[in-house]
Structures are given as structure tokens and as C-alpha cells.
Structure 1
Amino acid sequence: MDTTLQDPLVGQVLDGRYRVDARIAVGGMATVYRALDTRLDRVLALKVMHPALAVDGAFVERFIREAKSVARLAHPNVVQVFDQGTDGSYVYLAMEYIAGCTLRDVLRERGALQPRAALDILEPVLAALGAAHRAGFVHRDMKPENVLIGDDGRVKVADFGLVRSVDTVTSTTGAVLGTVSYLAPEQIEQPGAADARVDVYACGVVLYEMLTGEKPHDGDSPAVVLYKHLHEDVPPPSAVVPGLAYELDELVASATARTPGVRPYDAVALLAQARVARQALTDEQLDAMPPQALSDGHDNADDRTSVIPRGLTVPRPLPVDGDEPVHRTSRLEMPPAPPAGPPRARASRRPRGPMVVVAAVLLALGLGAGIWYINSGQFTEVPPLLSKSEAQARDRLEQDGLDLGKVRRAYSDTFDRGTVMSTDPKPGARIRQNDSVDLVVSLGPKTVKVPDLRDRTPAQARAALKERGLEPGMVTREFDDEIARGSVISTSPGEGATVRSGSAVALTVSKGSPVDLPDVTGESPEDARAELEEAGLKVRIAPGRVNSEFDAGLVARQSPGEGTQAAEGDTVTLTLSKGPEMIEVPDVVGDSVDDAKAQLEAAGFEVDEDRGLLGLFGDTVKKQSPKGGDKAPKGSTVTITIR
């Protein structure tokens, strides 16, 4: 084997627990491996940060902090983070392993998708992003590479929480062209100030690409693509795929509006629009095969609601240094014939020509019959049943000569209530005729009601949400005259709302009654403290002093400043003055009035003109106070006498 292809981590055990079996993919920030958790005996994906990035302490700290946050985001369409750790120079994340392919693989294999397939992929993606948005997370790097499609048809979003860290090291050159294709205009103009609507924009671009098989903005360089995002609207998909439904054009236009305020405010709102668009389309419109599709060999008539066409030829990742050779053999491999006996016995026997010929013919006939039996009508394949109703699945099994086995029911966020979410054996598996197929039928999403958390502490509210199977979301604080400081005012979604189990519920916590901050600059520290404490505020004196217009020892500045509303118990920081800055006064005697004023003002002084009766028509400075060369407080007034 060529040693240049070997990966030093393959075969090693990280942190005494994770055995690295194969390299799956290499990205700009990390390498992803298939690994085995030797403690729990489960396969997972191990994302190992490149050593060049691992030396940046701030980057690693942010990587870890955000990974921990995302680990709390429990959603069936989000790739879960199990563990995080370091082993020497390796910083890693242990994540859920998804056997399947990415949406990029699907687009590369299939080109444009049918509208039904595009919506079947888009909706779970938006469900995942919606849960993240309501919990206070923004993905900021949505693209087909981060949408995983499992062999069982499940759709999952990857790289939550890591993309913010990537922002600190990414540039818009070279290999990043694929990423800039999904950037919202505000991400280009104001990096770091993005909110949930940048994910909405990216999803609109991804939908366009699924419907047309191409990106809406293309160019020879990233700069060209960025310019188009800023100055050109995403064209309607029907301009590329004639006959595409108007509702799909509207959905793309809404999501990719260049002005953020015109877009749906988050993925939940876009998901609602997508469902409305789906309901408005006929089966013929949903199942229309676009001319840009690269493969016409799949007929969705039997599997009209499957997430994506089955039978993708996308290659599965193989180990980089593994010893798993790929065998190419015939369909039926026969073991070698056993020896006919000891050499001496064989030599002593008489050859019997006719008998040998008859035996060979019989052997050939038996072998052919065996092959015919295995490959003939005695076997069939499990038909595609996912997303069909239980009755439809029963009819299809009967039509294919199979029996319905056990029917189990389970909750699902991605399959409609009453539809098949998995089968055993899986679709496409070979099975004897008259055997049975077990089904798992969806109960729909498990839902719970948001409890009344008003007047509870955040800790009590989080505990109550966990009890109901909900996740605490982001916490915001607002002034409230009725609710005590530190207690919950409201939730989003509100009390009594029916939500899916595992959804995040945001909390609004009271900052108490607002207090108008008085202006204490220029006062002594003692007087300032007394005035602020009387208003219910705490006081901190900052170390160090600054020059100001106030005398040394008085309050030079305060933070927050006058007129700002603060909550009772908040801290106001006071900075004391070390007196005005003393600067040298320019000598302007003999100069014209205009020149003198310009010099003095440039030095930081105010100017007062004293003309008297004799200087009404004069234009020359005869005297100044303070005198030139003396030192005076910056900002003080210099009087010039004009004659």
C-alpha cells in the first residue's frame, strides 16, 4: 500500500476510548473518521480538529464551548454530539454516525430533483434549524454538504455550533467557493452580525439548487459570486425548469430576499410557508421529473413520498488504511470440491467413461437447478413502503406475495401519523416469498404542552421543562414592574402551547422595575455613592483615574451613563478624575484674530474676544490671558484683547 495514503490516526485509540477505524472526509477545519467507542461498543463519527488550528487556544475554547451548547440541542434531525475531549495535540468531537450520503452526493448523482423529493428534504432541515433558532443558535454555514441523508431516508443537519468557530479562520478564496454560494448579503457586508435569517437565505439557495440542479449565482471567482449575492436577486427556478409551479418560485423568492426584513424571520416561519406551498401543489406537479435530472431510471410511482429516490450509486466511504479488501465475485460462489480420495486409491480404480459423463451432466443440472432456485421466483425484494399508510403497505405486501408481520408504533418528527417509518427487513432486501415484513408505523410527533412558568426562578423553570421532555432555550431579560427580579415573565412558545417533545422553550426573565440613572459626574465619590444606593443601585469605583474637566478626586464618568435605565441591584461603575489635562498655551500676540483663534482652538482651548471700544475695528491681538507659554487646563478659555 502507498504510505502516502496512510493516515497517522487510523488504527490508534484516542483518549483511551475511541478506536479510529477509517477516514471518512477531510475539511478545512477538521478530519472526520469512523470510529468505535470501545466503552459503549458503538460506531460513531469522530471529528478531529487539524493540529494547526489546535494551537490557537482561543479557537479551541470557542470550539469546545459551542459544541457543548449544541450537545444540549436534542432534535431528531440534528446530528448529535456525544462527547468532546483532547488527546495530546488532538482536539475532537464524538458525534452520531450517519450511514448514507450527503445532499451534495444526491445532487451530483441525480441533478435536479422532483419537487416532492426537494420538499421532503427541505422540511426536516427546516425543522432542525427551527429548533436551533428558537434555542438561540444560528448555523451560518447551511449547504448541501451539511445535509446528511441516511440509508433509512432520515435527513439530518450536521456541523451545528462549529460554524461560528470556522468564521474566525475562513477567507473568501479558493476552495471556499462552494460555501460563498450560500452566503446571505448581510453576511458579506457585516460578518458576525448575522441572525437566523442567514440560514433562511441559505435554505432558499439550497431549495433552488435541488429544483434546478444548479446554483443561482455562479462565477469564475468567489468575488464574482459575492458581488451577485449583493446586487442580484435569485432568479425563479421556473426560469431554468419550465412548468415548475408558481408556489415554488414564491417560496424561493421569499427565502432569498436580499433585504433580511422581507424574509421569514426564522426557519420555523419558512417551514410553515413550505408546507402551505406543498398543499397547494397537485400530485402531478409534485412528481414532475425535471429535464435537468441526470437519471431517468427511477420511477417514483411505487414510492411517491420517499425522501429521495432509492438506488443511489454514491460510493460509501472506505477505510484509508483499513484491511477491508473489496471482493468482486460472482453471485454464487461454490466451495472447492473435496478430494475424491487418497492418491493410491484413485490410481487403482478403473476409469469408467460413460459413468463419468453421466455424473458430470447430473452435477451440471443440479447446479443449474440450485442457481435457478436461488434466483427465481422463490425469492423477492422487500418493496419500498416508507411514508405509505399502513393499509397501502399491507396491500403492497399482499401484491408481492409477502405477509404483514408485527406492527409497532413509535413517535416521529419526520413521518406523518399513520405512515410507515421503517421496515424489517429493509426496503430492497432479498426475502423468500410468503415471508413476513415487520412495520414501524408513525404516531406523528410526540407533543406536550408548555407549562406555566410565570414567577418561577430560571432554575425551577428549566427543571419543569425537563420534566415535560422539553429543552430550556435562550434566556432574555426585560424590565417588569410586576414580576420580581430574577423570575420568569413569559415563555416562547407561550403557556399551554402544544409543541413537539424535545423542542426548545425560550424564557424571558424579569430585571425588576427600571431605575432611571441620575447624573453623578462632578460629584464627590461619597455623594455619588449615597445618591446611587438610594436609587437601589450598587456602586463600584474603577481602578485608575482619567483627565477630565472636573477637579481631581471628583467623579469624571459613570457607566451606565445618565438617562439609561438600569434594574434595581445593578452595578454602576464610577471613574474618578485626576484633574484637567494641563497643556501649553500658544503665544498669539501680534497675530491676526482669525489666525489666533485657529491656533488656540486647535490646541484645545475655547477663545473669548475682548475688543473694548478701541478694538471694534481692530484685527490684531495685543494681549492674551493666560500668556503664551503658560500651562492651562485643556478646554479652558483663553481671552484675547484686540486693538
Structure 2
Amino acid sequence: MDTTVADTLIGTTIDGRYRITGRVARGGMSTVYRATDERLGRDVALKIIHPSQATNVHFVDRFTDEAKTIARLTHPNVVAVYDQGRHQGLPYLVMEFVQGRTLRDLLSQRTRLSPVEALAILEQMLAAIAAAHRAGLVHRDVKPENVLVAEAPSGGSADLVDAVVKVADFGLARAIEASTVDDSGQLMATVAYVAPELVQTGHADARTDVYSAGIVLFEMLTGKVPFDGADPVEVAWQHVDNDVPAPSGVTPGLPPVLDKLVARATRRDPGARPTDAGALLGEVQAVRDGLGTANVETALLRQVPSRPLGGDATTIVPAVPASADATAFVPPVPAGTYQGGQRPSWARLPEQGGARTAPHRRAAAPSGGFLADRRRVMLSSLITVMALVVVGCIWWVTAGRFSETPTLLNMPQAQALAHAEEKGFKIVIGDGAYSDVVPKDSVVAQQPAAQEKIVKGDTITVNLSLGPEVHPVPDLVGVELAAAKGQLEALGLEVKEGKAQYNETAAAGVVLATDPKAGEQLRPGATVTVVLSRGKAPITIPDFTGKNINEARNELNKLGLSGAERYKDSDQPKDTVLGQSPKPGTGVEKGTDVILDVSNGPPLVTVPDLTNQPCPAAQATLQGMNLQVQINFNPNGLVRGQNPGGNTQVPPQSVVQLQCF
């Protein structure tokens, strides 16, 4: 019964252009498919991120940015990136499709490789990684699964020395840099190849890749990794606690020079390793060419005929013993010389020159005393010339092509560029770095460091000072606490929570204010106090307007609130509530004071003295003062008495009695 789970992406077309034809591999973070670019009519590899990684916004942003960087990295040993995009919210990369197999597949098939094959593959690996290091990239996950061995254009793949090697997965290098340890505490690296510093501190630089490349060389020579175990954490810490053993201890007969090369690349102290992949590449080429020279000299001496001085019989000069110790000190030939046939142009490393002609062998001369003597002289001359050439090559490979890196620290950018060009080096501007000491736009760091050995004409990466590190406080009003903390901590600022406050509009847990306020410049380590909302208060104030003060007091007591009263003159009846603060509907805490404006009633009216005035006129005067009038006896007579009397204060609409005669 077929239990294969159907892959829904196979057969679909991504972005109207890339038709997926099959799945190549599935890893922890992504799946790689084979696809056809229907616009250009070529096969490509399409790497799409797993849905579980797409929720990590930081990872996705880093993945996208790094794809742009690696797309600009052009090198024959780097898997090229052609395009990027999103499919159903998942980021993907479109890369060069390499027709071949991984180094892991080769090792699974053959267990281990010969020293010549292992060094040939390692050279091309390091050439690719060195190009990335010059561009400021660290791979972080160098392992056989990320090394592709391409088939030759002719279709043959039996000779690994002539195969093209390409390194993949640079696109994930910096994307996982901020996630060296995941939420479960697992190291985000392949523990069999992880460098000690990545286990201890999570820090990675070019020397981390050098260590991993050394482990890959060990595995190619022995068919196994140096450290193994059931627990990944235990394996990782073996790299910290133990030196990598010599390959010859696992595979007897390997030259000691290979043991030294592996030991040099896998020092537990990063400072004791080659500074980057380019430096290790130079050492690998010297070792590989040295091994190749020993084989050439041995074969040559076995084929040269010789004759003793006292006879005519022809004898063969005994071969020089090719002992392991002798091999370790055989002088190397110039880098790029390939023994057993020149590497074809499509497989040639950048360090190799043009095609070289194999040494021409003269036909053997007839035997004879004079000719024999002449042959011995020619052989001696040939050996002398070869020795001089080899010595010269040793000098060139080990010292002649190297120069000391100039000191560029503290130089302004323009001066550093001019000084490096004067010394014959190229400059690449790397990421800036904050500094309280080095002025802004001056060199704060360089790689390689000053006075280190570097190939003449090579590239120096310099980091310019960004000046003292200060950051403006971001505007966090309305932002939830977790997001506010993330923004502040990303700037190196400490977070302190102030006393939370009730708020009518802001939800609980969001920022109401910060101290210092948004925009103020702070140094890393400074503290920002955030005031959070507690949401709407639990007690809602009712509307007391128009109610009697006694009724309002009773309601306030039931709600657990206090009342404060302010009396005002008003046309409303006395003790009527005219207004309140806080307003109706406001949320408050228990015990909050509610201020009530209460009516004193209308103002009193002073009754005038109307004695002896005509009754009609007196009536009109009182009515104009909002008083009521009651006339007794003669309405047309004169006022002879009134009640209340003159100058008495009464409420509006009070009745004034007039006695008229």
C-alpha cells in the first residue's frame, strides 16, 4: 500500500511563472522543489519556507533581506539566487538548479574519499565561502548536505577531482543569526559540525565556518564525524571540551600534513584558526599541491633509465620512498597545478590560471658511455631546476603572495580608502558600529586585522563608526505592553512600569504615556517608564441632574461614592441638582468624590413702599417685579396700606395685598 503523503504544491504554478515538477528535499525550515521557469525555459530550484517559520516576523524579514544580499554574490561555486517572492504568505527563493548530488549522498555511497578528492572538493567549498566572507556573510551551517557536487557537462561524474562543487543555503545564514537557540532551547545548527563558540556564546564569525569546513574534511577523509552520541546537546558540548582527533587515527596511512591541516582548522580557540575561508583556502592549496608534487616526482624518477659507470647494462634508478613523513614536507608546486590532467575550464577554480601544458618527455637515448654520462648530467640539471621551481613556489605560496594588512583604524573613510588603495588593497564597507571613542564615519574595525597576512590585492572589510549610540524614545502611546517592551529592548533601553491608570478610551494593558516622552534621545541602558491603562473604571456615575439633593445623596451612598455640594442661585426650585462632575456615564473607582451643583432657589425680590400711589400704578409695578397683586376695597383709589410692607424681601411670585380707598 502506498503511504506517501501527497504534496499539494507539485503541479502548481507559483507567481504565474514557476511550475513545480517535483520535490527535491525537505529540511527543518524549508522544502526544496524542482521547478520549470516557464518564462525563460530553464529548470530551477524553488525553496519555500515552512508555515511554522512564516509566523516569525523577525525571521521572515531577515530571510528576505539576506536573499537580496546573496543574490548579489556572484561566484562559480555558490548556488545562485535568481528571484524571491511569496506564495500564500510563505516566502520563497528561486535558485540555480544543480544537476548532481550532495556531498552527503557521495559519502553515503562511498563512505570516505581519497585525500586528493577530499582536498579538491574542499578547495571549491572554501572558494565559495571565502567569497561570502569578503561580502560580510557568515554561512553558519557548513555541512555535506549543503555542498552540491555537479555533474560534468559531458555527463560523467566518476572523477570527483574534475567535478564542480557548489555551496548552498547562504540565503538562510543571517536569517537564523538572531535565533541561535529556539524556544525549546535547541541549538539552531547541525551539532556534528558546530563550532565551540557557537555552543558557548551563540556568536559566529568567519572562523566559525572555518571550523565546520575542517569537520567536513575530517569526515571526507575518515567516513565519520569526530564526535557522535544519542543526545545532540552532548555532541555539541564535545566540540567545546575535546580537540578533534587526527584523521590518521581513524584511517591509517593518511599523511601527517592532513592531520595538521584538520587540527589547524578545528582549533577550539577561534583565534588559533585561519582568519577566514580565504586564509584556509591558501593552506589547503599548498597541502594539495604538495601532495601532487610528491606523486609527480616519484613517477618521474621511476621512468628515468640509468647505467652504472662500470658496465653497459641498463638499470632503473630506485624510486624515492614515498613515506608519510617525507610527504608532509614535500615542497608544493604553484597553486592551480592539477596533477593527472589539467582541470577543464568549466571546473577551474578562480585561483587557477590558464591551462598548462604537461611536461614534455624526451625519448630515451641509446645506451652508451658518453650518452649515459650526458643523460646523468641532464637528469641532475632537471632535478636542480625542479628543486628551484619548487622552492620558488613554496616561497610564493607561503610568503611571496602575502603582505601585511595596513592599519586603518581611526582613519576617516576617505583617508582609509586612499591608504588601502596605495598599498594595493580593495576596501568593502561593512555594517557600521557605534563608538564613544572613534569619530563618526571613521574606521572602528577592520577584517583582516592590522598586520595580519593577506594576499596582495585582496579585499579588506572596514566598519565605520556611527558615533555614540543614542536612540530616540519611540512613540508608544496606544501600543500594547509586550510590543512596547520589544521596541525599547531592541534599542538597548530598560523598561519600568509606572502606576497604571483607568482610562475611558484605552483598553487595559496599552501604553498611555512614557517618561521620558517620545523623541527624547537616550543612551543604551537608560530606563523608560511606561504608564499603562487599566481600562474603564468599574463604577459608572448616573445622571443626578433635576433630582433633589437628598435623592442624589442616597444614590451616591449606595454606589460607594462620596458627594460634595456646591450651591448656586437658580430659577430651579431650591435643593434641585443643576449639574455634576464627573459627567454622567464616566467610570470611576469606589470612594471617588462626585461634585454636585445644587440650586439655592430663585433670588428674593424686595417689595417697594407703594403708600399713597394710585392702585392701578402700584399693581403694574408689583407685576413687573414678578409678584402677584391682591387689591382690597376700591381698585381705583389710593394705596393706604400693603402686606408685606415696603422694603420686605419675598420670593418671586409672592402675593402682595394692597388696601386702596
The normalised TM-score by structure 1 is: 0.50
CA displacement at 1:155 relative to structure 2: 0.9
Is 1:135–1:473's contact at 8 Å kept on the other side of the alignment?
Answer: no
- 178 and 217 in structure 1: CA distance in 2 versus 1, 3 angstrom threshold: farther
- 264 and 487 in structure 1: CA distance in 2 versus 1, 3 angstrom threshold: closer
Is 1:79–1:95's contact at 8 Å kept on the other side of the alignment?
Answer: yes
| 2:71 aligned with 1:76 | no
Is 1:101–1:148's contact at 8 Å kept on the other side of the alignment?
Answer: yes
Counterpart for residue 128 of structure 1: 128
CA displacement at 1:203 relative to structure 2: 0.9
| 2:109 aligned with 1:114 | no
Q: How many Å separate the matches in 2 of 1:156 and 1:198? A: 19
Is 1:18–1:37's contact at 8 Å kept on the other side of the alignment?
Answer: yes
- 273 and 19 in structure 1: CA distance in 2 versus 1, 3 angstrom threshold: same
Is 1:48–1:92's contact at 8 Å kept on the other side of the alignment?
Answer: yes
CA displacement at 1:44 relative to structure 2: 0.8
Alignment of structure 1 residues 53-64 onto 2, 5 Å: 53-64=53-64
Equivalent position SS for 2:170: coil
- Counterpart selection for 2:464 from 509, 526, 531: 509
Q: How many Å separate the matches in 1 of 2:226 and 2:97? A: 31
Kindly provide the amino acid, as one letter, of the partner of residue 186 in structure 1. Answer: E
- Counterpart selection for 1:231 from 221, 233, 241: 241
Counterpart for residue 268 of structure 1: 278
Counterpart for residue 474 of structure 1: 430
Q: How many Å separate the matches in 2 of 1:82 and 1:24? A: 18
CA displacement at 1:127 relative to structure 2: 1.7
- 52 and 542 in structure 1: CA distance in 2 versus 1, 3 angstrom threshold: closer
Counterpart for residue 186 of structure 1: 197
- 229 and 285 in structure 1: CA distance in 2 versus 1, 3 angstrom threshold: farther
| 2:371 aligned with 1:416 | no
Is 1:73–1:471's contact at 8 Å kept on the other side of the alignment?
Answer: no
- Counterpart selection for 1:197 from 203, 207, 221: 207
Q: How many Å separate the matches in 2 of 1:164 and 1:393? A: 37
Is 2:431–2:463's contact at 8 Å kept on the other side of the alignment?
Answer: yes
Alignment of structure 1 residues 67-106 onto 2, 5 Å: 67-106=67-106
CA displacement at 1:74 relative to structure 2: 2.2
Is 1:116–1:287's contact at 8 Å kept on the other side of the alignment?
Answer: no
Q: How many Å separate the matches in 1 of 2:41 and 2:167? A: 24
Alignment of structure 1 residues 397-412 onto 2, 5 Å: none
Q: How many Å separate the matches in 2 of 1:204 and 1:266? A: 12
Is 1:177–1:221's contact at 8 Å kept on the other side of the alignment?
Answer: no
CA displacement at 1:228 relative to structure 2: 2.0
- 166 and 410 in structure 1: CA distance in 2 versus 1, 3 angstrom threshold: closer
Counterpart for residue 335 of structure 1: none
CA displacement at 1:211 relative to structure 2: 0.7
Is 1:135–1:504's contact at 8 Å kept on the other side of the alignment?
Answer: no
Structure 1: which 5+ runs fail to align? 289-386, 395-407, 422-446, 518-540, 548-552, 562-571, 579-643
Q: How many Å separate the matches in 2 of 1:260 and 1:185? A: 9
- Counterpart selection for 1:157 from 162, 167, 192: 167
- 393 and 132 in structure 1: CA distance in 2 versus 1, 3 angstrom threshold: closer
Equivalent position SS for 1:215: coil
Deviation track 1:53-77 (CA, whole Å, cap 9, x = no partner) reads 2233332222212222222222221
- 474 and 210 in structure 1: CA distance in 2 versus 1, 3 angstrom threshold: same
Larger gyration radius, structure 1 or structure 2: 2
Structure 2: which 5+ runs fail to align? 153-162, 299-335, 358-400, 471-492, 500-514, 532-661
Q: How many Å separate the matches in 1 of 2:133 and 2:241? A: 27
Equivalent position SS for 1:66: helix
Equivalent position SS for 2:194: coil
Q: How many Å separate the matches in 2 of 1:392 and 1:157? A: 25
Larger displacement relative to structure 2 (162-171 or 180-189): 162-171
Q: How many Å separate the matches in 1 of 2:521 and 2:497? A: 12
Equivalent position SS for 1:127: helix
Matched residues, percent identical? 43
- 178 and 240 in structure 1: CA distance in 2 versus 1, 3 angstrom threshold: farther
Instruction: Give aligned pairs, total.
Output: 389
CA displacement at 1:272 relative to structure 2: 2.1
Kindly provide the amino acid, as one letter, of the partner of residue 57 in structure 1. Answer: V
Counterpart for residue 218 of structure 1: 228
Alignment of structure 1 residues 588-603 onto 2, 5 Å: none
CA displacement at 1:131 relative to structure 2: 2.0
Q: How many Å separate the matches in 2 of 1:554 and 1:49? A: 41
Q: How many Å separate the matches in 2 of 1:287 and 1:475? A: 49
- 390 and 414 in structure 1: CA distance in 2 versus 1, 3 angstrom threshold: same
CA displacement at 1:51 relative to structure 2: 1.9
Counterpart for residue 582 of structure 1: none
Q: How many Å separate the matches in 1 of 2:141 and 2:281? A: 18
Alignment of structure 1 residues 313-332 onto 2, 5 Å: none
Kindly provide the amino acid, as one letter, of the partner of residue 64 in structure 2. Answer: I
Is 1:480–1:511's contact at 8 Å kept on the other side of the alignment?
Answer: no
Q: How many Å separate the matches in 2 of 1:162 and 1:6? A: 27
Is 1:172–1:223's contact at 8 Å kept on the other side of the alignment?
Answer: no
Kindly provide the amino acid, as one letter, of the partner of residue 269 in structure 1. Answer: A
Larger displacement relative to structure 2 (217-226 or 110-119): 217-226
Q: How many Å separate the matches in 1 of 2:345 and 2:356? A: 9
Counterpart for residue 26 of structure 1: 26
Is 1:22–1:34's contact at 8 Å kept on the other side of the alignment?
Answer: yes
Equivalent position SS for 1:181: helix
The normalised TM-score by structure 2 is: 0.49
Counterpart for residue 359 of structure 1: none
Q: How many Å separate the matches in 1 of 2:442 and 2:32? A: 43
Q: How many Å separate the matches in 1 of 2:35 and 2:266? A: 38
Equivalent position SS for 2:430: strand
- 418 and 7 in structure 1: CA distance in 2 versus 1, 3 angstrom threshold: same
Greater relative contact order (Cα < 8 A, sep 6+): 1
Counterpart for residue 351 of structure 1: none
- 54 and 418 in structure 1: CA distance in 2 versus 1, 3 angstrom threshold: same
Q: How many Å separate the matches in 1 of 2:236 and 2:296? A: 32
CA displacement at 1:28 relative to structure 2: 1.2
CA displacement at 1:270 relative to structure 2: 1.6
- 235 and 391 in structure 1: CA distance in 2 versus 1, 3 angstrom threshold: closer
Counterpart for residue 159 of structure 2: none
Equivalent position SS for 2:227: coil
- 543 and 144 in structure 1: CA distance in 2 versus 1, 3 angstrom threshold: closer
Alignment of structure 1 residues 422-441 onto 2, 5 Å: none
Equivalent position SS for 2:130: helix
Alignment of structure 1 residues 243-642 onto 2, 5 Å: 243-282=253-292, 413-414=349-350, 416-419=352-355, 472=428, 474-476=430-432, 485-486=440-441, 506-509=461-464, 559-560=522-523
Give the aligned CA root-mean-square deviation in angstroms.
5.3
Kindly provide the amino acid, as one letter, of the partner of residue 352 in structure 2. Answer: D
Equivalent position SS for 1:238: helix
- 116 and 183 in structure 1: CA distance in 2 versus 1, 3 angstrom threshold: same
Counterpart for residue 35 of structure 1: 35
Equivalent position SS for 2:24: strand
Q: How many Å separate the matches in 2 of 1:418 and 1:163? A: 33
Counterpart for residue 12 of structure 2: 12
Kindly provide the amino acid, as one letter, of the partner of residue 83 in structure 1. Answer: D
